[in-house]
């Protein structure tokens, strides 16, 4: 479904943030078409949602989980899809994704069922921070078994194919999608990018054609909210802005402290007669960088 067209015009209608929509609107069967459109474009498949599932981690209370928005769905193939929006940085986030898929697998196999009843799980993370290091803004992970001598990928025999309704081993295991929204530069190259633009800006591109966006424009317009819904929504946005601001401040404090420690160490070594080239090697920086630190002087203590 990924095309070759480019455009970058905007419809200035302000829409409800997608994380709020998932908490309040997209759990309603009447609005499944929005979620189905997004999933169809991302997974390059025609997705039909059968129901919204509940899980111990699938909470809607903003007070309990202000950073996390989970929606757990089952599609017409019997696959379970986890969608999670993460607004702030967590260093153990990759472990949490793994835990989330494992928990869902264990929750949705009943006692006495054999292993063929294990559900296929698709985990989708929409991250509004720089999760991991990489140049792209959409990442896809699967599990494959590759021969260390022949380099071939292990496939399924005839009977397991029939049993698991899968052709490849990776189709049995969980798969992971990570969308790094802030990494998207705004240049729309295909239909999935139309969705990512909406996720980043809460606005739609002009001449969009991606599945689900027409429904999003109709149903997620802020103008359609009741006064009470609007007040709740504005409070939610305010909370998330405050959390993001606090986290940025904390990250800056950490970075400043690290820079000050290095600056003090460089000045102390030079003042004690250690050669610039030795200091540079000690900190794995260039001699030019050492001179730059010396020219700036010692960093002051933070207030």
β-pair partners for 155: 168
pLDDT the model gives residue 66: 41
DSSP 44: T
Instruction: Tell me how far apart the alpha carbons of residues 22 and 71 are, in angstroms, rounded to a whole number.
Output: 7
Between strands 138-141 and 175-180, the pairing is: antiparallel
φ, ψ (nearest 5 deg) of residue 158: -60, -50
Instruction: Tell me how far apart the alpha carbons of residues 33 and 37 are, in angstroms, rounded to a whole number.
Output: 6
φ, ψ (nearest 5 deg) of residue 80: -100, 130
Higher pLDDT, 253 or 139: 139
* C-alpha 40: how far from chain center: 17
Each residue's pLDDT tens digit, 139-184: 999 999 999 999 998 888 888 887 777 888 888 899 999 999 989 9
The structural domains of the chain, with segments of one domain joined by +, span: 10-224, 229-296
Instruction: Tell me how far apart the alpha carbons of residues 103 and 245 are, in angstroms, rounded to a whole number.
Output: 32
Query: Other CB atoms closer than 10 Å to residue 120's CB: what's the count?
Result: 19
pLDDT the model gives residue 303: 58
Q: Quickly state the pLDDT bin for 8 (edges 50, 70, 90).
A: very low
φ, ψ (nearest 5 deg) of residue 174: -60, 150
Q: Would you say 21 and 34 are in contact if contact means Cβ atoms under 8 Å apart?
A: yes
Q: Would you say 65 and 83 are in contact if contact means Cβ atoms under 8 Å apart?
A: no
Q: Would you say 192 and 2 are in contact if contact means Cβ atoms under 8 Å apart?
A: yes
pLDDT at residue 6 is higher than 50: no
Each residue's pLDDT tens digit, 209-233: 999 999 999 899 877 888 888 888 8
Q: Would you say 236 and 85 are in contact if contact means Cβ atoms under 8 Å apart?
A: no
Question: Which SS3 state, helix, strand or coil, does residue 50 take?
Answer: strand
Q: Would you say 100 and 123 are in contact if contact means Cβ atoms under 8 Å apart?
A: yes
pLDDT the model gives residue 302: 66
pLDDT the model gives residue 225: 80
Q: In the CATH hierarchy, which fold is given to the domain comprising 229-296?
A: Arc Repressor Mutant, subunit A (1.10.10)
Instruction: Tell me how far apart the alpha carbons of residues 171 and 121 are, in angstroms, rounded to a whole number.
Output: 10
Burial class (CB in 10 A: 0-12, 13-18, 19+), 150: exposed
Lowest-confidence segment of 3-7, 171-175, 192-196 by average pLDDT: 3-7
Instruction: Tell me how far apart the alpha carbons of residues 289 and 283 are, in angstroms, rounded to a whole number.
Output: 10
Q: pTM of the prediction?
A: 0.73
Closest CA to 255 of 214, 222, 223, 299: 299
Lowest-confidence segment of 7-21, 25-39, 54-68, 171-185 by average pLDDT: 54-68
What is the helix, strand, coil percentage profile of the chain, to 5?
45, 15, 40
Each residue's pLDDT tens digit, 53-99: 875 444 444 444 444 557 899 999 889 999 998 877 777 889 999 99
Each residue's pLDDT tens digit, 269-295: 999 999 999 999 988 899 999 999 999
Q: Quickly state the pLDDT bin for 12 (edges 50, 70, 90).
A: low
Q: Would you say 116 and 163 are in contact if contact means Cβ atoms under 8 Å apart?
A: yes
- Mean per-residue pLDDT of the chain: 84
List, in order, residues 6 or more apart from 86 with CB less than 8 Å away: 67, 68, 93, 125, 126, 127, 128, 129, 131
Percent of the chain residues topping a pLDDT of 90: 40
φ, ψ (nearest 5 deg) of residue 126: -105, 105
């Amino acid at each position: 479904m990924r095309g070759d067209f480019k455009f970058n015009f905007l419809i200035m209608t302000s829409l409800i943030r997608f994380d709020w929509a998932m908490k309040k609107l997209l759990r309603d069967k009447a609005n499944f078409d929005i979620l189905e459109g997004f999933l169809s474009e991302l997974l390059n498949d025609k997705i039909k949602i059968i129901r919204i599932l509940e899980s111990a981690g699938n909470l809607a209370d903003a007070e309990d989980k202000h950073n996390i928005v989970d929606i757990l769905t089952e599609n017409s193939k019997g696959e379970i899809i986890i969608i999670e929006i993460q607004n702030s940085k967590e260093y153990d986030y990759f472990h949490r994704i793994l835990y989330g898929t494992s928990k869902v697998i264990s929750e949705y196999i009943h006692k006495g069922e054999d292993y063929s009843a294990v559900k296929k799980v698709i985990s989708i993370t929409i991250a509004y921070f720089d999760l991991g290091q990489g140049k792209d803004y959409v990442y896809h992970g699967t599990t494959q078994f590759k021969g260390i001598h022949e380099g071939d990928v292990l496939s399924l025999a005839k009977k397991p194919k029939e049993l698991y309704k899968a052709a490849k081993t990776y189709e049995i295991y969980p798969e992971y999608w990570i969308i790094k929204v802030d990494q998207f530069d705004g240049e729309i190259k295909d239909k999935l990018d139309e969705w990512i633009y909406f996720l980043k800006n809460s606005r739609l591109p002009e001449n969009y054609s991606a599945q689900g966006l027409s429904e999003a424009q109709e149903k997620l317009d802020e103008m359609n909210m009741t006064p009470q819904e609007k007040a709740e929504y504005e409070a939610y946005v305010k909370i998330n802005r405050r959390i993001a601001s606090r986290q940025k401040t904390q990250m800056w404090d950490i970075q400043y402290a690290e820079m000050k420690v290095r600056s003090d160490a460089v000045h102390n070594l030079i003042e004690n007669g250690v050669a610039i080239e030795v200091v540079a090697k000690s900190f794995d920086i260039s001699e030019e960088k050492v001179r730059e630190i010396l020219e700036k002087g010692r960093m002051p203590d933070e207030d």
